[in-house]
Amino acid sequence: MKAAIYPGSFDPVTYGHLDIVARAADLFDKLYVAVLNNPAKSPLFSVHERIEMLSDAVSHLANVCVESFSGLVVEYARARGAIAIVRGLRAVSDFEAEFKMASMNSHLAPEIETVFMMTVSEYSFVSSSIVKEVASLGGDVRAYVPERVAVRLAERFATGSSGV
Ligand code: ADP
């Protein structure tokens, strides 16, 4: 049984993330989508809210499990018996940070491979941060995130509160 993890902030999940999840779920027997629990990043949505939105969006994929983790990604991968860390690549600008992270992780855990998947062109410009920016200004983001996420964004920006 080949398991992989797909770690990230997912604050909130976008169709770009979901495209990677669906494709990675086809490649591996089991995929753990892992929400990084890092309060230092001051996210808009709490870990609980991010897990809820992700779980809802991947409920049709039987081999995908959504959970949170903290600490080293490679330790989390080992704990799940994963052979790979999945990451998505958009523009060249993603490359440098991803290269550093993958290199460090391969030193820390040589047995775990980082697998990069290219974004599909229609979501190549979609990021959680640009979606939040547009939503905060009252823009329509339903082309980039599931309906329930768009509703949550609208609610959050209407009340002006942020998550922990
Ligand atoms: P992080 O804070 O770890 O970068 P993100 O939630 O922003 O977490 O992204 C998680 C992963 O998903 C990263 O590998 C990122 O490059 C990838 N990703 C984000 N948006 C897209 C997209 N539109 N297409 C493909 N991959 C994406």
- Confirm if 77 and 34 have CB atoms less than 8 A apart: no
Measured CA to CA, the distance from residue 89 to residue 83 in angstroms comes to: 19
Taking 70 as the threshold, does the pLDDT of residue 146 lie above it?
A: yes
Per-residue pLDDT, 38: 82
Q: Which residues are catalytic?
A: 17, 41, 90, 128
155 Cα to the center of ligand 1, angstroms: 24
Residues with CB under 6 A from ligand 1: 8-10, 14, 16-17, 20, 87-88, 90, 94, 119, 123, 126-128
First CA to last CA distance, the chain = 35
Q: 162 falls in which pLDDT band (50, 70, 90)? A: low
- Confirm if 53 and 14 have CB atoms less than 8 A apart: no
Taking 80 as the threshold, does the pLDDT of residue 39 lie above it?
A: no
Q: 160 falls in which pLDDT band (50, 70, 90)? A: low
144 Cα to the center of ligand 1, angstroms: 13
Q: What rounded mean pLDDT belongs to the chain?
A: 95
88 Cα to the center of ligand 1, angstroms: 5
Residue 66 parent element (H or E): strand 64-69
Preceding amide of 7 cis, omega within 30: no
Kindly report which listed range (57-61, 70-74, 94-98, 128-132) carries the lowest average pLDDT score: 94-98
Per-residue pLDDT, 161: 56
